[in-house]
Structure 1
Amino acid sequence: MAGRRITVTVSPRPCSGRRILARKRPRVDGFMNSVKKLQRREISSRRDRSFNMADAQERFRNIQLQEGYDTYDPKQQSFSRLPCLCKRSKVTEIVAAHDIIFALTQSGVCAAFSRETNQRICFLNGTPDEVIRSLFYNKSNDSLITVSVYASDNFRSLKCRTTRIEYIKRGKPDAGFAIFESESLKWPGFVEFDDVNGKVLTYSAENSIYKVFDLKNYDLLYSLSDKNVQEIKISPGIMLLIFRRTSSNVPLKILSIEDGTVLLSFNHLLHRNKKVDFIEQFNEKLLVKQENENLQILDVTNFQIIEVSKAEFLTPSAFIFLYENQLFLTFRNGKVAVWNFRGELVTSFEDHLLWHPDCNTNNIYITSNQDLIISFCKASSGDSSAEVGSINISNILTGKCLAKIQPSHSTPSHSTKWQHASRFQWSVSEALEDITALYFDEDRNEIYTGNMRGLVHVWSN
C-alpha cells in the first residue's frame, strides 16, 4: 500500500501523497513526528478484486509470529553525536520493498533488515548528526527516499535523499544522492510525495512558491506562486487550491495535476463566524464541514449539494479515500466507519476498536484491492485495562472481522520465548504489547509490526 501524506503537526486527514512538514525547532524527545501524524495510502485497482471473504480467512488463518529484529545497536548509535539517537526508541514507521524491511524510530534512526537472511543490512543515517523524519518507497524508480533534518542546520530544513533499493541490498546506503537541493524547505515548508499521480509537491515558505516535480526523475514540471493559497489537496488527476476565506465564502480552484492548468474556479458559501473543520477533495466531490454544521457534499460538475446531519456525521480525526470503490473511511475516537458520497453510512466495524484513539494510522493498512483493513486494536471489546492488543483483519464492505492475531491465536504458547538471529528474546504476548507501527507486505503475505522498545516482529504463515 503506497502513497501517503504525512504532516508532523496534526492534519485533518491523510491524503493521496506523503507530506512531510518542516518545523521551527526539534522536540527534545526525538521529533515526535509519527505519534499524531496521519497518513493515507494510495489504493489502486487490481485484477484480483474478486478476492472473497473465504479467501481472506484462509490467507490469514495460520499466521504466526516468526521472526524479530532490533533497530537498536549500541555500537551504531555511539556513532552519532546526538543524544537522542543514542537511546532506544519506539518504531514509528515501517516500509517494505523487495524483501527488505525498513524501520524508522522516533529518535530518527532508520534500519534496513533482510527477510532472506534475517539479518540487519545497514543503517540509513549517513552522518552523525542526521535525524531521519520520514520514509517513502518510490515505486516509479525502485528507490527509497529519506527526508531528514540535521543538527548542523539546527534542524531547520528538510533534506531529501534517494537511494536505489539494489544499493541498500548491497549494504551501500551511501550510494544515493540528494534531491530538491534547490528548494528551501524551512518551516512551514514541506515536501509531499504522491504515488497516485506520480508527482512531488514542495512548498518554499520563503517565497510562497509551490513546485510540482516528476516522481520518476525529479524533473521540475511547473510552479505556482500565490500568497493567498492556504492549502493544497491532491486527488487523482487534479489539485484543489484553497484560498484565504472571506466572512461568507472560500475561493477555490481545481487545477490539472499534469500541467497546472486551471480547470475550475468558484467560491463556496460559508456560514459566517463558523470555523471550517475541513475541506476535502475526492474526484468531482468536495466535502465541506464547518463547526456545529451539517456536512456538505458538493458535486463540482453541477454544483448540487447533499447535506448530512451534524448529528449523524461528527467531524473525524482522519479520512482514508478508497478510489476504486468510491467510498471513504472516517476515524473518530478509535472507531472506523465507511461512507459513500451520497452521505450514507455503509459499514460499521465489529470488534474493531483501535488501540490508539488519536488515530495514528501507522497502525492501519488498507490492502491494494480495497477489501481489507488490518489494524492494531483492543484485544477484547475495548477492554481498556488489557495490556496486550490484537491485530485484526476486517472486511471493509461488510465490517466483519475475518481473522485476529492474539496470544491464544498463535500456535506457540504466549509464554514461549523466541530467539533468532535478532539476538533478543520475545513472546507472542510481548510482541502484541504497545505496537506503534504496522505494515502488510502483500507479496510475501507477511505483517510487520514495531513496538515501543524499537523491536520489529514478523507475522507469517
Structure 2
Amino acid sequence: MDGRRISASPRPCSVRRVVAKKRPRGGGVDGFVNSVRKLQRREICSKRDRSFSMSDAQERFRNIRLQEEYDTHDPKGHCPTILPFLRKRSKIIEIVAAHDIVFALAQSGICAAFSRETNQRICFLNVSPDEVIRSLFYNKNNDSLITVSVYASDNFSSLKCRTTRIEYIKRGKPDAGFALFESESLKWPGFVEFDDVNGKVLTYSAQDSVYKVFDLKNYTMLYSISDKNVQEIKISPGIMLLIFTKNTSHVPLKILSIEDGTVLKSFNHLIHRNKKVDFIEQFNEKLLVKQENENLQILDVRNSELTEVSKTDFMTPSAFIFLYENQLFLTFRNRTVAVWNFRGELVTSFEDHLLWHPDCNTNNIYITSDQDLIISYCKADSDDPLSEGTAGSINVSNILTGKCLAKIRADNCSTLEDDSSCSNSNSGSSSKKRVKASRIRSTPAEALEDITALFYDEERNEIYTGNRHGLVHVWSN
C-alpha cells in the first residue's frame, strides 16, 4: 500500500510519501490520503503498565469539551495577488501540532498556524502568492516544519520542499526557512517520503529513475539507488524492501539496510500466474503478500517459513497499519477495524468503533505513540450502520482489547462506556448548547459534523478536529 500521495503535474512505520502528478481541474487540490503510512508517523515509545494505561486513558478523556475554534478562511487577510482558489473556503485535510502551535492545511492549499497560548492565528505558511501547499511534516530532529508545495509558475508540475524552524513560525516569519532537495526533479511520478522512525528521507526522480536517501537530521544525501526495474520501495525500521517488476511466476525482491543501502538479502517470491497482486508489505522479518482471490501469505524471510491465512478469514483490506511496538497490525475494511498478529490470527475486533468514512480516510484516525489507543471519527450510533445522522462522535478505544474507553458526542460530553454518571451529566442540556459563544460560533453538534481531519496532541491532551468549512475545533479538559 502507498503512503500519502499528493498530486501536482501530491496522519505505526512513520512514513509520509508525497508524489507529484497533475493537479485536478476546478481550482481545488486533491487531498487524497492513504492510511498505511499516515498513521505510522508517531514515534515509538516504551509501553506503560496496561491496566494503569486503560484507567489513565479514561481519566484523560473523561471531561473533554469543545473549548476553542479557529478559522483558516480569511479572504480579507490574503495578499491580493494570491491564487483565486486559495481565497475560497475549503475543508481541512491535515492537522499537525507542535510546541503549542496547531497547523491546519486546507484542501485548497492554504495552510495556517494558530497559537494555543493566545488562541490567535499566527500566520499563513504560504510564502508566495502562487504557492499551493500539499503536505506537512513535523521534523522533531531539528524542531522544524517541512512543507511540500507546488507552484502556479511551474504549472503545478513538480514538488518543492521547504523547512522552517518552529521558533520562526512562532514569530510570524514563515519565510525564514530554506528550500530542500533543490537538486532533485520531483515531477510526476516522482515523490518525496519522510521516514520518522529511521530518520530518513526518500526521494524519487522519475526523470532519471534514481532513488536517493537523505538524513532527516541535516538533509545530507547518504546514497542513491539507480535501477529502472524497481517498481516500489517499502520502508521498515532499519531496512528497505525493493520490489522489482514481476515476472510471470515470481516477484524479485531485495532487502537493504536503511543506513547505507547494503543489500542484506535477495530472493524471488513465487506468485500465481495472471493474478493481480493486491499488496506486498515488509514488517521487520515478515513479508506479507496477498493476491486477488488468494490466501494471505506471511513469509519469514530469515528461514523461509510460510504461513497462510484463508482468503475467507482475511479479505484484502482498504488499508492496514503496522504496530511495531506490539508486533501486530491493524486492518481497515468496510468502516471496521481489526487487529492481527503475524501468525495470521485475529487478535481484536473493536466494539462501538464504526468509522464514519467508508474510504478509511486516516486523517480522521490517530494512534498514540504507545500504540495502545486508537482515536477515530466514528458513527455516533454504531448499532445502526445505516444511521445517517449529521453528527458523528470521536471514539477512543484500546487497541489490545477493542474496548471503547471514551466517546465525545454531540451532547458535549466525553462518555465513559462504564460510567453512567458522565453519560447522564448533561441529560438536561441541549446538543445546541454553545460553549464560550463570544469566541466559538459552532455548537458541539455542529463541530462534530463532517469532520475531515483529526489530530491528538499527547503532551497537551487535546484533540484537534477540522471540518469541511475550514474550521478547526479544540477539544480539551
Same fold by TM (over 0.5)? yes
Report the count of equivalent residues.
454
Aligned partner (choices 12, 17, 20) of residue 19 of structure 1: 17
Q: 1:102 to 1:238 in 2, by over 3 A?
A: same
Q: Is 2:416 the partner of 1:416?
A: no
1:26 Cα deviation from its structure 2 partner: 3.9
2:422 is matched with which residue? none
- Cα distance change, pair 86–347 in 1 and its aligned pair in 2 (3 A): same
User: Using the alignment, how far apart are the partners of 2:351 and 2:218 within structure 1?
Assistant: 44
Deviates more, 1:84-93 or 1:30-39: 30-39
Aligned counterpart for 1:425 among listed residues 422, 432, 441: 441
Native 8 Å contact 1:138 1:145 kept in 2: yes
Deviation at 1:41, TM superposition (A): 2.2
- The alignment's TM-score, normalised by the length of structure 1, stands at 0.95
**Aligned equivalents of 1:142 and 1:5: distance in 2?**
23
**Alpha-carbon distance in 1 for matches of 2:131, 2:320:** 32
Distance 1:52 1:128 in 2: 47
Deviates most, 18-27 or 166-175: 18-27
2:230 corresponds to: 229
The 2-side partners of 1:163 and 1:151 are apart by 21
CA shift for structure 1 position 59: 1.1
Match for residue 423 of structure 2? none
1:48 paired to 2:48: yes
Residues 90-125 of structure 1: per-residue CA shift (max 9 Å, x gap): 000000000000000000000000000000000000
In 2, distance between residues paired with 1:227 and 1:15? 26
Residue-by-residue CA offset, 1:201-244 (whole Å, 9 max, x unaligned): 00000000000000010000000000000000000000000000
Q: Is the 8 Å Cα contact of residues 5 and 14 (structure 1) preserved in structure 2?
A: no
Q: Residues 409 and 74 from structure 1, CA distance in 2 versus in 1: closer, same or farther, beyond 3 angstroms?
A: closer
Shift in alpha-carbon separation, 1:235–1:80, aligned structure 2, 3 A: farther
Measure how far apart 1:86 and its partner are.
1.2
Per mean C-alpha deviation after superposition, the further-off stretch among 210-219 and 74-83 is 74-83
Is residue 335 of structure 2 the alignment partner of residue 318 of structure 1? no
Q: Does 1:442 align with 2:440?
A: no
- Counterpart-to-counterpart distance in 1, 2:310 and 2:352: 26
Is residue 454 of structure 1 aligned with residue 453 of structure 2?
Answer: no
* Offset from partner CA, 1:365-394 (integer Å, 9 cap, x none): 000001100000000023432110000000
Cα distance change of structure 1 residues 146 and 287 upon mapping to structure 2, 3 Å threshold = same
The answer to whether structure 1 residue 290 and structure 2 residue 291 are counterparts is: yes
After TM superposition, list the pairs within 5 Å mapping 1:121-132 onto structure 2: 121-132=122-133
Offset, 1:333 = 1.1
Taking structure 2 as the reference length, the TM-score comes to 0.92
User: For residue 90 of structure 2, what is the aligned residue in structure 1?
Assistant: 89
Instruction: Check conservation: 1:15, 1:233, Cα contact below 8 A.
Output: no
Measured in 1, the distance between the counterparts of 2:355 and 2:340 equals 18
Flag the 1:80–1:310 CA change in 2: closer, same or farther, 3 A: farther
Contact 1:101 1:112 survives alignment (8 Å) = yes
Classify the secondary structure of the residue corresponding to 2:459.
coil
The one-letter amino acid of 1:402's match is L
Whether the 8 Å contact between 1:8 and 1:37 is mirrored in structure 2 is no
Distance in 2 of aligned mates of 1:334 and 1:178:
39
> Does structure 2 conserve the Cα–Cα contact (< 8 Å) formed by 1:77 and 1:87?
no
1:384 equivalent in structure 2: 387
Equivalent pair of 1:234/1:240 in contact (CA under 8 Å): yes
In the alignment, the residues of structure 1 paired with residue 49 and residue 200 of structure 2 have an alpha-carbon distance, to the nearest angstrom, of 26
Report matched runs for 1:188-337 at 5 Å.
188-337=189-338
Asked if structure 1 preserves the Cα contact closer than 8 Å seen for 2:192 and 2:203, the reply is: yes
Q: Give the match's secondary structure for 1:41.
A: helix
Q: Distance in 2 between matches of 1:162 and 1:284?
A: 34
Distance 1:387 1:318 in 2: 26
Secondary structure in 2 aligned to 1:140?
A: coil
Q: Is the 8 A contact 1:238 1:257 kept in 2?
A: yes
User: Could you tell me how far apart the structure 2 residues matched to 1:160 and 1:37 are?
Assistant: 22
1:424 to 1:62, Cα distance in 2 relative to 1, 3 A: closer
Deviations along 1:136-184, whole A, 9 cap, x unmatched? Answer: 0000000000000000000000000000000001111111000100000
- In structure 2, the CA distance between the partners of 1:14 and 1:249, relative to structure 1 (3 Å rule), is farther
- In structure 1, stretches of 5+ residues that fail to align are none
Equivalent position of 1:164 in the other structure = 165
Q: Greater shift after overlay, 44-53 or 204-213?
A: 44-53
Question: For 2:319 and 2:67, how far apart are their aligned partners in 1?
Answer: 32
- More moved, 165-174 vs 26-35: 26-35
Q: 1:424 Cα deviation (Å)?
A: 5.4
Counterpart position of 2:397 = 394
Could you tell me the percent identity over the aligned residues?
A: 75
Query: In 2, Cα distance between the equivalents of 1:396 and 1:80?
Result: 48
State which drifts further: 129-138 or 35-44. Answer: 35-44
- Report the Cα distance in structure 2 between the residues aligned to 1:419 and 1:125, rounded to whole angstroms: 31
Aligned-partner Cα distance in 1 for 2:178–2:111: 17
RMSD: 1.7
The residue type paired with residue 194 of structure 2 is F
Amino acid of the structure 2 residue aligned with 1:453: H
Residue 359 in structure 1 maps to residue 360 in structure 2: yes
* SS of residue paired to 1:52: helix
Amino acid in the other structure paired with 2:330: L
Among 26, 29, 32, which residue is 1:28 paired with? Answer: 26
SS across alignment from 1:74: coil
8 Å Cα contact 1:242/1:252 also seen in 2: yes
Bigger Cα displacement from structure 2, 383-392 vs 325-334: 383-392
Name the SS for the 1:166 alignment partner.
helix
Once residues 59 and 273 of structure 2 are traced to their aligned partners in structure 1, the CA distance between those partners, rounded to angstroms, is: 54
Alpha-carbon distance in 1 for matches of 2:81, 2:268:
52
How far apart, in 1, do the equivalents of 2:401 and 2:332 lie? Answer: 17
Partner SS, residue 41 of structure 2: coil
Aligned to 1:347: 348
Flag as ranges the 4+ runs of structure 1 deviating above 6 A.
Answer: none
Alpha-carbon distance in 2 for matches of 1:404, 1:102: 24
Change (3 A) 1:255 1:35: closer
